[in-house]
Structure formats: structure tokens, C-alpha cells
Amino acid sequence: MSGAHRFDRAAITLGLASIAAVVFALDLGEFRFMTVGGASIAVALGLGGLAVVAGAASWRPLTVLIGIGFAAAAALQLIAAAVGGDWMGGNLSTMSFWIGLAAGLVLAGAAPRNQTSDERE
């Protein structure tokens, strides 16, 4: 892993953060600041796992596509909240989390990869 580019490590970390967010599917009482359930669990695990794979394999286009996938999931969550439905199983906090993951993954995948002096050695 030490040979991985810093943007690839960022994609891996963002993917692991998405997977870790599934803990909010548990009943945590007042510590549950984000709702994850139903389709939201599939989004968190599926796209999060793909982000880890994309980062580990340095697949930049896949990293960008996964970021777009999180943005689409966030848009669907916004629509679900606007129409009063709960078919995504999340709330607007979940949407905000996905927007952050989307931005991070798109930037990690699309950023230019110039070698620094440390990476050349």
C-alpha cells in the first residue's frame, strides 16, 4: 500500500468510510445522527466496496464513476425526502454524507497525477 498514490489512498479511505457508515443502521439512540436502512445499506456497501477496489487498483475512471454514483444516490435521496417518501431508507444527513463522498471520489479520480520527488525514488 505504501506504493499507492495519495489519491488512490483517498479513494480507499472514502470507500471504507462509506462501509463504516452502515453502523448507523443499528439503533444507537441519541448517537444516531444519520439514517441508513433499506436501499441506503446497499448503496453504502456496494459503492463503498467498489471505491476500495478502484483505489487499490488505481482505476481512476472507475473512481470517478463511483463518485457520480454517490451523487446520483444523493439526488434520489433528495427526491425521496421532497415527495415525503422513504424508499431510499435514509434522510437528508445521509444525502449530505453521500455528496461529500461523491465530491471526494470525483476529485480523487479526476485530479492530475504529477509525480513528486518522493514518488520518483
Which of 73, 78, 57 has the alpha carbon at shortest distance from 18? 73
Q: Which carries the bigger pLDDT value, residue 67 or residue 84?
A: 67
Q: Would you say residue 117 has pLDDT above 50?
A: no
pLDDT of residue 4: 72
Q: pLDDT tens-digit profile of 6-42?
A: 999 999 999 999 999 888 777 767 666 777 888 888 9
pTM, 2 dp: 0.85
Q: Would you say residue 108 has pLDDT above 90?
A: yes
Task: Report the mean per-residue pLDDT for the chain.
Answer: 86
- Range of weakest confidence among 24-28, 46-50, 104-108: 24-28
Bridge partners of 90? 36
pLDDT of residue 3: 59
- Take residue 90 and report the three cell numbers written for it: 435514509
Q: Domain coordinates of the chain in residue numbers?
A: 15-111
Q: Would you say residue 82 has pLDDT above 80?
A: yes
pLDDT of residue 31: 65
pLDDT of residue 119: 52
**Residues 44 and 101: beta-carbon distance below 8 Å:** no
- Take residue 8 and report the three cell numbers written for it: 488512490
Listing DSSP states for the chain in one string gives: -TTS-HHHHHHHHHHHHHHHGGGGGS--GGG--S-B-THHHHHHHHHHHHHHHHHHHT-HHHHHHHHHHHHHHHHHHHHHHHTT--SSSB-HHHHHHHHHHHHHHHHHHHS--PPPHHHH-
The Cα 102–Cα 17 span in angstroms is 12
pLDDT of residue 2: 53
